[in-house]
């Protein structure tokens, strides 16, 4: 008698049959129950290990960060003592020019960490015949160099002079590059000093200590944790003072990185850092290049903040390695258990083969087929009932799927209607004022989605004044569209009362801040144009500066005060500015959907490209200018999808 040849292919066909029967299901269910128990224990162990490692790293990074902060604080406090001591001497004694220089040289000789010091007096306070007097001593090529900044620069308007004068207290300035001075990156500790005149304290000047930040960058860059962990330092405004990426130093801030990546969590972290907070939080790969953890702590003397970044994949690498080993062991055990269960269950499932043949029709889509009658109360009978329930449930599922598809189509239709409604909010009849020959105005809005967050508006306030505005709401989609509609409606209602642009922005902002739980905001530029006299009064709330194209000459950026966006703070100080437009001038307003449009290589269209594009454009009509800009952006972007709403508004002053 010959037996069939038994190979490993025969074994695989027996364990994993093409037609999966009850034996396979029994094996799978049993194995699934075992796997749930194993993974519950494994997950508990992994979670506890994860917490232990995370706590250990948090403690280590906290100790490392605070040690670095203490080292920086010690140096800063040592630097602060010298100008504070000199201030006391200036307020209680009268010094000659030679004595002042000697004082300053002694400060540098006894404080090697100080790069330079200056004593800047108010006009005519040191010498009745001298408007400027500010002796400066600094280090140069290993020696002390003395200079007199009498007319070298107008120091009365520098940060290190104005800020302590206005605040009436010592301050550390924002880090800056001292071009023409030390030609290094430095920060300045400025201390105001006073004189008593008839019992009244009068501001006399400022004494400073310049601190080179090279030592600080060395301290921060020397921090290493794990393989690629690093530390960075930001200033009071969030600008990077030290970072492994040299291009970020003094060029980027934690907020610019958050804005570019759209990371609201990073914006919140940066806000907490510059306000003196500390914590241990996860950060996304948009900031560090890969998922990481960040511990940060403040340098209270200067208002800076130190952050230490630990990559997530290095932090838990040991746990992941152990996890892989446990998974391999578990998988081997599961495979052995599975083979045993399949062997036992196959011997018990022969009676259901007939039922399997009938249910094959269900698998091929015949949901109206009748299953065999239930003839027993054993497993086969229960399985028959289960298949019948499955058939009914599947038919109901298909019915529900059809209804869901119809609902989705209805939502898409409603979004199209919302787009139509949103566009109806905007002026769309051009020319809008054919009876007014003094000016020509045209605008276009192209949303990135069905509905967007950009806005523009213009209308006549009276027979001589035209109000116009442009804005960009944070985010996209329906929330941004609703916020846009509210903003536009508020501004139109307020502007109709002949209010100044700054008052319009302030009142609109006050309304938007009420119950703004979503923390949405809107950048806006608005103006009131007297098309009889050519006077333009305007105000800005964080929007891109417009371009002015004079009748003769190249396009120029309109001087705008940046101010804060609408919906951010309750009582911002918006400023109304004025300019007189020449006849023939053209004013171009736009949103960042123009300047931040990207091509396939992720290059930005940029403000410079917009300006160059308008230099080459000879058209004077408002519509031609708008269409030229949009065409230029589309040619630059090519086949890339539109990433943000695009809005352009052009105003041509004819003065007929």
Question: Is the distance from CB of 568 to CB of 521 less than 8 angstroms?
Answer: yes
Torsion of CA 338, 344, 346, 350, to 10 degrees: -150
How far is C-alpha 284 from the chain's CA centre? Answer: 12
How far is C-alpha 445 from the chain's CA centre? Answer: 24
Q: What is the pLDDT of residue 312?
A: 78
| Whole-number Å distance between alpha carbons of 83 and 172 | 12
| Whole-number Å distance between alpha carbons of 505 and 566 | 7
The domains of the chain are located at 52-74+216-315, 94-212, 350-425, 427-653
- Fold classified for 94-212: Beta-Lactamase (3.30.450)
| Whole-number Å distance between alpha carbons of 170 and 75 | 16
Question: Is the distance from CB of 190 to CB of 170 less than 8 angstroms?
Answer: yes
Give SS3 for 635: helix
- The CATH H-level (homologous superfamily) assignment of domain 427-653 is PPM-type phosphatase domain (3.60.40.10)
pLDDT < 50: residue spans in the chain:
1-4, 6, 9
Question: Is the distance from CB of 565 to CB of 523 less than 8 angstroms?
Answer: yes
Nearest by Cα to 426 from 648, 588, 630 = 648
Q: How would you label 343-368 residue by residue, b for 16+ Cβ within 10 Å and e otherwise?
A: eebbeebeebeebbeebeebeeeeee
Handedness of CA 544, 548, 554, 557 (dihedral sign): negative
Nearest by Cα to 536 from 586, 594, 471 = 586
Which residues, in sequence order, are bridge partners of residue 189? 172, 209
pLDDT tens-digit series, residues 409-425: 776 666 666 666 667 77
pLDDT tens-digit series, residues 539-587: 999 999 999 999 888 899 999 988 899 988 888 889 999 999 999 999 9
Q: What is the pLDDT of residue 367?
A: 67
Which residues, in sequence order, are bridge partners of residue 535? 580
Looking at residue 125, the DSSP 8-state letter turns out to be T
Question: Is the distance from CB of 636 to CB of 609 less than 8 angstroms?
Answer: yes
Q: What is the pLDDT of residue 302?
A: 84
| Whole-number Å distance between alpha carbons of 206 and 91 | 11
Same fold, 52-74+216-315 and 427-653: no
Class of the CATH-defined domain 350-425: mainly alpha
Nearest by Cα to 217 from 229, 231, 227 = 231
CATH number of this structure's domain 52-74+216-315: 3.30.450.20
Which tokens hold the place of 531? Answer: 């098309």
For 102, the enclosing helix (H) or strand (E) is helix 97-110
Question: Is the distance from CB of 286 to CB of 266 less than 8 angstroms?
Answer: yes
Torsion of CA 255, 260, 264, 269, to 10 degrees: -30
């Amino acid at each position: 008698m010959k037996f069939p040849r038994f190979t490993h292919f025969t074994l695989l066909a027996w364990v994993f049959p093409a037609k999966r029967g009850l034996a396979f299901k029994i094996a799978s269910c049993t194995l699934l129950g075992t796997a749930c128990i194993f993974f519950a224990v494994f997950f508990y162990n992994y979670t506890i290990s994860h917490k232990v490692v995370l706590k250990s790293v948090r403690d280590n990074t906290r100790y490392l960060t605070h040690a670095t902060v203490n080292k920086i604080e010690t140096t800063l406090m040592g630097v602060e003592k010298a100008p504070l001591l000199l201030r006391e001497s200036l307020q209680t004694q009268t010094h000659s020019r030679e004595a002042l220089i000697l004082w300053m040289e002694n400060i540098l000789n006894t404080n090697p960490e100080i790069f330079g010091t200056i004593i800047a007096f108010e006009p005519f306070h040191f010498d009745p015949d001298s408007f400027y007097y500010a002796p400066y001593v600094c280090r140069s090529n290993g020696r002390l160099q003395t200079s007199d900044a009498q007319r070298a620069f107008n120091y009365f308007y520098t940060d290190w002079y104005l800020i302590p004068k206005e605040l009436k207290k010592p301050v550390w300035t924002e880090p800056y590059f001292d071009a023409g001075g030390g030609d290094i990156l430095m920060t300045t500790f400025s201390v105001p000093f006073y004189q008593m005149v008839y019992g009244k304290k009068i501001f006399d000047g400022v004494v400073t200590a310049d601190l080179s930040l090279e030592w600080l960058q060395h301290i921060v860059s020397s921090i290493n944790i794990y393989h690629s962990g690093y530390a960075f330092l930001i200033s009071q405004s969030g600008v990077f003072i030290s970072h492994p990426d040299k291009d970020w130093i003094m060029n980027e801030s934690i907020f610019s990185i958050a804005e570019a990546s759209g990371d609201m969590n990073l914006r919140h972290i940066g806000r907490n850092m510059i306000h003196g907070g500390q914590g241990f939080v996860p950060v996304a790969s948009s900031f560090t290049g890969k998922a990481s953890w960040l511990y940060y702590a403040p340098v209270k003397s200067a208002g800076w903040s130190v952050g230490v970044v630990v990559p997530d994949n290095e932090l838990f690498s040991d746990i992941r390695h152990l996890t892989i080993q446990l998974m391999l062991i578990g998988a081997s055990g599961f495979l052995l258990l599975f083979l045993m269960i399949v062997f036992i269950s196959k011997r018990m499932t022969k009676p259901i083969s007939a039922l399997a043949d009938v249910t094959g029709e269900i698998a091929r889509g015949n949901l109206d087929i009748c299953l065999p009658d239930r003839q027993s109360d054993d497993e086969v009978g229960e399985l028959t009932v289960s298949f019948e329930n499955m058939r009914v449930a599947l038919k109901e599922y298909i019915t529900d799927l059809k209804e869901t598809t119809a609902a989705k189509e209805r939502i898409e239709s409603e979004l199209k209607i919302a787009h139509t409604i949103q566009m109806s909010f905007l002026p769309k009849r051009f020319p809008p004022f054919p009876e007014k020959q003094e000016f020509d105005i045209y605008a276009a809005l192209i949303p990135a989605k069905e509905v967007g967050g950009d806005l523009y508006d213009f209308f006549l306030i009276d027979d001589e004044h035209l109000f116009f505005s442009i804005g960009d709401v944070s985010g996209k989609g329906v929330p941004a569209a609703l916020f846009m509609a509210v903003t536009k409606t508020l501004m139109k209602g307020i502007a109709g009362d002949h209010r100044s642009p700054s008052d319009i922005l302030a009142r609109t902002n006050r309304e938007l801040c009420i119950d703004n739980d979503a923390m949405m905001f809107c950048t806006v530029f608005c103006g009131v144009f007297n098309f009889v006299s050519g006077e333009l009064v305007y105000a800005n709330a964080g929007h891109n500066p417009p371009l002015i194209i004079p009748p003769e000459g190249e396009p120029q950026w309109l001087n705008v005060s940046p101010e804060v966006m609408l919906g951010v703070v309750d009582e911002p100080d918006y400023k109304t500015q004025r300019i007189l437009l020449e006849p023939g001038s053209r004013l171009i307003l736009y949103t960042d959907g123009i300047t931040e449009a990207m091509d396939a290589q992720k290059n930005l269209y940029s403000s410079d490209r917009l300006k160059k594009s308008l230099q080459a454009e000879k058209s004077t009509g408002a519509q031609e200018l708008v269409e030229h800009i949009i065409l230029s952006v589309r040619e630059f972007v090519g086949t890339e999808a539109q990433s943000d709403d695009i809005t352009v508004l052009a105003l041509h002053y004819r003065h007929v």
